[in-house]
């Protein structure tokens, strides 16, 4: 118990802060912060597995998040029958051609020795393949995008409950990670960082501009929800009764019947959105706890010991007969898959998929700040990092405003400096993140909750 | 005649813009490569440092404009650059003293320094946005075109016009002057040679009495000059927006690695490789073929290899290919 005192203290302070937001601002805000903290925690766990367990830098978190989001769309949206009938066959044929092209290249690579001719043949296959695929897919894509462009204009999805997408998102992200890992894991650490950063940009470019698949920048809105809708809740009897009972003491103070009804209605509206957010919190909490148990188990298993050995001394681990390349690939895929789950969760919570909103600053670098500040190599640290950093990221604007008012108290309200500073309050969050990262890296390089390995 | 038209078309839409864009990338790529070669880390704050320098250029430009000092046909920003460089170098040296120095002395692994540079990125970005705001700004004044499309048509009697913006010419000339001075400095002067020696083999260089503090300081000074001028030229040619500058970091990294990271000449050429391939692959060649081919063979579509949406993706794909087949870049990297 005593060993974990700092963990418990850190988490209690964090929960206390969120509860304070609930009391002073509103429970709605507090819960939305809490939900995004949970999603961030899943992302940081993914990054922490790669960086903390194995020392791999993955700056492509944004790409995996977006793929998870794409999975949510492809799973939950109802299929657009018309689009399938006009262009589905062309798309399927193109898909088949792409697969056969990859297989052909693989076959040649495996069965022929390296020579100039082989390279030329492979290049010829790829170029010819791309030209043929473009000719086949183009009419299909155009036909699909012409199907009610304002409403659909894409193939749609499978029409399944959106929860399934959390698993599918993991598979999507893991699949991409497998390809990237095969290609790029041999690179030096900082090259890997740059390569993954750029590959994630390519993924975003594709998601943004292939309208037939994702609707691109036109966004997909109104995704199905795993939680009830506020509007429906406000009309169900049991919920109204529940809210009434919950707030009985407050309501009894109001004697006038119509006023009491109005107050109750207000409470029901507020309560419904809090209730929906609580449903999400429950779902996310289950995911976080399952992942936490799995990652903790993995960390203390023989496999976890091997990963740390590889991280701390690759050559020695290699000499002991551990397959470093294979293990790196495995952990890269696993970590990315977890990030994919988070991406699907994020889209589930928002109920919409906006490819334009994926920016490396928010989805890659901020996650890294979380991992570093929280404590790499320690799962509890990584989760805490997600909570602390997301909390600060949201609350930076109020804190910044308070600080600005405090420091410029002597100035007139219309003084140009004060006006300018108040206008730029939203950017104080970048400053806080940067300074926080620099201070932690300098004075507590292992993070708030450092990695602790007990040898039993 | 059609053939000449076709060539003018390519010059106008591909060659001149790519040359200007490539020069801007090249300056950034040399900046990345210098930091990588001498301080030995990938600087993720590159784009934001460039926007920080450009911010000073804009502030000085505004000041000069308000006082009424100008350069006539040339943009006032050219006058502002030297002053901005002084501030920028100061900022670089302060950052080095308070942030990077500690890790350099501790001999931290490059990965940790790269992580620290992300912290610097956040701070710099915040400063830029707090001081000048995130909006799109144009600070170009003076004569806009060197040759206007209409005038060119009249002069030559061709169908196609060739428009050359003065910013494009300024960009190319300044880049050439700056880069040739830099190469002269690195190859001919004693300090430059000691910088190369330090980059090549740190221990041997220290053994032969090279002062590491001086090397590091000069590197940051050169980096400050390159970042400010590169950023200012990009801003003059297009416009200044902190977010675009942050994004420009990606093609700049691509240019530096394609050319062979740590090799300034490679970075210089890498900038053009990236710029030309981005524009060549995303240009719609329909009009070109209309001029060159006989009428019966005119193409129906746009004859575009990739849509312009994939502009960035092109440079990154080139980078990935280079990383796979020649990780040290086109020109052998890791030596300054």
Task: Compute the distance between CA of residue B113 and CA of residue B99 in angstroms, rounded to an integer.
Answer: 10
pLDDT of residue A454: 61
Rounded to two decimals, the ipTM of the complex is: 0.89
Query: What is the number of CB-based contacts under 8 A between chain A and chain B?
Result: 119
Which residues are A334's β-sheet partners? none
The answer on pLDDT for B317 being more than 60 is yes
For B329, name the nearest residue in chain A, comparing CA atoms only. A191
Among the partner-chain residues B120, B125, B254, the one whose CB lies closest to the CB of A198 is B254
Q: What CA–CA distances, in Å, run from B111 to A71, B38, B105, B118, B175? A: 32, 15, 15, 11, 31
Q: Which of A57, A201, A442 sits opposite B316 (nearest CB)?
A: A201
pLDDT at A2 (0 to 100)? 61
**A442:B121 CB<8 A:** no
What SS3 class is residue B267? helix
CA distance A156 to A213: 7
**DSSP for residue B260:** -
Q: What is the CATH number of domain B2-325?
A: 1.10.3470
Say yes or no for a CB contact (<8 Å) between A365 and B118.
yes
Pairing of strands B164-165, B145-147: antiparallel
How far does CA B317 lie from the centroid of its chain? 19
Q: Look up residue A435 and give its two tokens.
A: 């300074």
Between B122, B133, B317, which is nearest A202 by CB? B317
Residues of A in contact with B126 (CB under 8 A): 427-431, 434
In the block, which residue shows the tokens 């932690």? Answer: A440
Q: Are B252 and B47 in contact (CB under 8 A)?
A: yes
Closest CA to B335 of B265, B254, B274: B265
The two tokens of residue A45 are 């766990």
pLDDT tens figures, B212-227: 999 999 999 999 999 9
Give the per-residue pLDDT at A157. 82
For A357, which DSSP code? G
Q: What are phi and psi of B147, to 5 degrees?
A: -130, 125
Of the candidates B114, B307, B323, the beta carbon closest to that of A184 is on: B323
In chain B, which residue's Cα lies nearest the Cα of A436?
Answer: B119
A209–B310: do the CB atoms touch at under 8 Å?
Answer: yes
Instruction: Answer yes or no: are the C-beta atoms of A52 and A303 closer than 8 Å.
Output: no
Who contacts B297 (Cβ-Cβ below 8 Å, separation ≥6)?
Answer: B289
Sequence-ordered list of residues with C-beta below 8 angstroms from that of A66, at least 6 positions apart, any chain = A200, A203, A204, A207, A343, A355, A358, A363
> Is the C-alpha dihedral spanning A333, A334, A339, A340 positive or negative?
positive
Compare CB distances from A201 to B115, B125, B250 and report the shortest one's residue: B250
The DSSP secondary structure of A90-141, one letter per residue, reads HHHHHHHHHHHHHHHHHHHHHHS-S-HHHHHHHHHHHHHHHHHHHHHHHHHH
For the stretch A42-72, what's the b/e string if a residue is b when 16 or more beta carbons lie within 10 angstroms of its beta carbon?
Answer: bbbbbbbbbbbbbbbbbbbbbbbbbbbbbbb
Smallest CA–CA distance from A51 into chain B, residue: B111
Q: Distance, in angstroms, between A16 CA and closest chain B CA?
A: 28
Only one residue has tokens 């992300």, namely B118
Give pLDDT, residue B89: 96
Which one has a higher pLDDT value, B4 or A285? A285
Write down the domain spans for chain B: 2-325
Interchain pair A368, B118: CB under 8 A: yes
Residues in chain B: 336
- Chain B hits for A197, CB-CB cut-off 8 Å, are 250, 253
Q: What is the DSSP letter of A217?
A: G
Q: Select from A183, A438, A441 the Cβ nearest to the Cβ of B324.
A: A183
Q: Give the mutation candidate from B319, B323, B327, B328 for the A interface (greatest A CB count, under 10 A).
A: B323
- The pLDDT value recorded for residue A65 is 95
Cβ contact A427–B313 (<8 Å): no
3-state secondary structure at position B295 = helix
Please check the confidence at residue B324 and state whether its pLDDT lies above 80. no
Neighboring chain B residues of A421 at a CB cutoff of 8 Å: 130
Q: What is the pLDDT at residue A455?
A: 56
Residues 6+ apart with CB under 8 A from A55: A189, A310, A311, B111
Alpha-carbon gap: A190 to the closest alpha carbon of chain B (Å):
6
What pLDDT score does B282 carry?
87
Mutate to test the interface with B, among A66, A370, A438 (most CBs of B within 10 A): A438
**Which is nearest to A295 in space by CA: A180, A178, A376?**
A376
| Long-range contact set of residues B196-200: C-beta below 8 Å, sequence gap at least 24 | B196/B335, B196/B336, B198/B38, B199/B37, B199/B38, B199/B262, B199/B335, B199/B336, B200/B335, B200/B336
What sections of B189-325 are H helices per DSSP? 190-200, 202-207, 212-237, 242-258, 264-282, 286-292, 311-325
Q: Which of B44, B123, B309 lies at the smallest CB-CB distance from A431? A: B123
Tokens of B249: 């970091």
Mutation target among A52, A186, A427 for the B interface, most CBs of B within 10 A: A427
Q: Let me know how long chain A is.
A: 456
Q: Residue A201: its chain B contacts at CB < 8 A?
A: 250, 312-313, 316
Q: What is the pTM of this model?
A: 0.90
Whether residues A187 and B246 touch (CB distance < 8 A) is answered with: no
A428/B130 Cβ within 8 A: yes
What confidence tens digit (pLDDT) does each residue in B159-194 have? 778 888 889 999 999 999 999 999 999 999 999 999
**Which residue reads 């997909």 in tokens?**
A220
Sketch the domain layout of chain A as residue ranges.
Answer: 2-79+156-443, 81-154
Splitting chain A (456 residues) into consecutive groups of 10 residues, what average pLDDT does each group show?
79 92 89 94 94 89 94 90 84 90 89 85 88 84 82 82 92 94 82 88 89 84 85 84 81 80 84 90 95 91 90 89 91 95 94 90 92 88 93 88 85 81 87 92 89 65
Which pLDDT belongs to residue B296?
73
Torsion over CA: B284, B286, B287, B293 (sign): positive
- For A57, the closest chain B residue by CA position comes to B111
């Amino acid at each position: 118990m005593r060993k974990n005192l700092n963990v418990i203290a850190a988490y209690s302070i964090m929960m206390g802060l969120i509860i304070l937001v609930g009391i002073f601002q509103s429970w709605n805000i507090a819960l939305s912060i809490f939900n995004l903290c949970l999603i961030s925690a899943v992302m940081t766990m993914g990054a922490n597995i790669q960086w903390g367990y194995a020392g791999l830098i993955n700056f492509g978190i944004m790409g995996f998040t977006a793929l998870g989001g794409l999975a949510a769309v492809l799973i939950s949206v109802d299929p657009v029958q018309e689009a399938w009938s006009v262009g589905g066959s062309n798309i399927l044929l193109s898909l088949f051609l792409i697969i056969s092209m990859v297989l052909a290249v693989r076959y040649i690579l495996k069965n022929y020795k390296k020579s100039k001719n082989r390279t030329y043949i492979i290049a010829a296959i790829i170029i010819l393949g791309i030209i043929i695929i473009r000719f086949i897919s183009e009419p299909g894509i155009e036909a699909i995008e012409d199907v009610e462009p304002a409403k659909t204009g894409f193939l749609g999805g499978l029409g399944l409950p959106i929860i399934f997408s959390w698993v599918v998102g993991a598979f999507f992200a893991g699949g991409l990670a497998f390809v990237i890992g095969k290609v790029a894991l041999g690179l030096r650490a900082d090259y890997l960082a740059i390569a993954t950063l750029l590959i994630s940009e390519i993924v975003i470019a594709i998601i943004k501009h292939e309208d037939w698949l994702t609707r691109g920048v036109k966004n997909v809105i109104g995704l199905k929800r795993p939680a009830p809708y506020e509007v429906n809740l406000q009309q169900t009897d049991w919920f109204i009764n529940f809210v009434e009972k919950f707030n009985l003491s407050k309501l009894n103070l109001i004697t006038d019947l119509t006023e009491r009804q109005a107050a109750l209605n207000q409470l029901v509206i507020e309560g419904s959105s809090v209730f929906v957010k609580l449903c999400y919190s429950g779902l996310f909490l289950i995911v976080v706890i399952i992942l936490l148990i799995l990652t903790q188990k993995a960390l203390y298993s023989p496999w976890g010991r091997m990963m740390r050995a590889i991280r701390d001394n690759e050559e020695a681990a290699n000499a002991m007969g551990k397959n470093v390349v294979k293990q790196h690939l495995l952990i890269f895929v696993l970590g990315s898959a977890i990030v994919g789950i988070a991406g699907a969760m994020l889209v589930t919570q928002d109920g919409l998929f906006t490819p334009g909103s994926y920016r490396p600053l928010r989805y890659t670098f901020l996650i890294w700040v979380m991992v570093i500040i929280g404590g790499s190599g320690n799962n509890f640290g990584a989760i805490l990092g997600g909570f602390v950093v997301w909390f600060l990221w949201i609350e930076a604007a109020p804190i910044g405003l308070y600080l600005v008012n405090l420091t410029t108290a002597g100035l007139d309200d219309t003084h140009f400096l004060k006006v300018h500073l108040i206008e730029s309050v939203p950017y104080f969050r970048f400053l806080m993140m940067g300074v926080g990262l620099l201070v932690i890296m300098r004075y507590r390089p292992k993070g708030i909750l450092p990695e602790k390995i007990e040898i039993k | 005649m059609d053939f000449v038209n076709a060539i003018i078309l390519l010059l106008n839409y591909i060659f001149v813009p790519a040359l200007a864009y490539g020069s801007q990338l090249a300056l950034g790529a040399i900046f990345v490569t210098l930091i990588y070669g001498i301080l030995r880390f990938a600087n993720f704050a590159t784009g934001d440092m460039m926007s920080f320098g450009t911010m000073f250029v804009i502030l000085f430009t505004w000041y000069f404009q308000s006082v009424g000092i100008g350069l006539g046909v040339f943009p006032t920003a050219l006058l502002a650059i030297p002053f901005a460089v002084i501030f920028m170098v100061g900022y670089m040296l302060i950052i080095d003293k308070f942030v990077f120095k500690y890790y350099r002395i501790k001999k931290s692994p490059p990965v940790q320094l790269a992580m620290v540079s992300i912290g610097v990125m956040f701070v710099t970005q915040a400063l830029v946005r707090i001081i000048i705001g995130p909006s799109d700004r144009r600070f170009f004044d003076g004569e806009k075109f060197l040759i206007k499309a209409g005038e060119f048509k009249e002069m030559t009697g061709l169908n196609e016009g060739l428009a050359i913006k003065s910013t494009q010419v300024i960009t190319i000339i300044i880049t050439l002057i700056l880069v040739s001075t830099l190469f002269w400095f690195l190859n001919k002067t004693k300090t430059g040679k000691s910088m190369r020696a330090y980059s090549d083999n740190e221990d041997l260089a220290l053994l032969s009495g090279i002062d590491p503090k001086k090397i590091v300081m000069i590197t940051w000074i050169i980096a400050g000059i390159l970042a400010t001028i590169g950023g200012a030229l990009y801003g003059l040619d297009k416009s200044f927006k902190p977010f675009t500058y942050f994004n420009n970091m990606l093609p700049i990294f691509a240019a530096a690695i394609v050319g062979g990271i740590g090799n300034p000449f490679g970075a210089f050429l890498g900038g053009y490789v990236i710029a030309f391939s981005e524009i060549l692959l995303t240009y719609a060649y329909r009009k070109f073929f209309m001029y060159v081919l006989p009428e019966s063979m005119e193409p129906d579509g746009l004859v575009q290899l990739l849509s312009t949406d994939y502009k960035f993706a092109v440079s990154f794909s080139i980078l990935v290919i280079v990383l796979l087949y020649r990780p040290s870049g086109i020109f052998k990297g890791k030596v300054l």
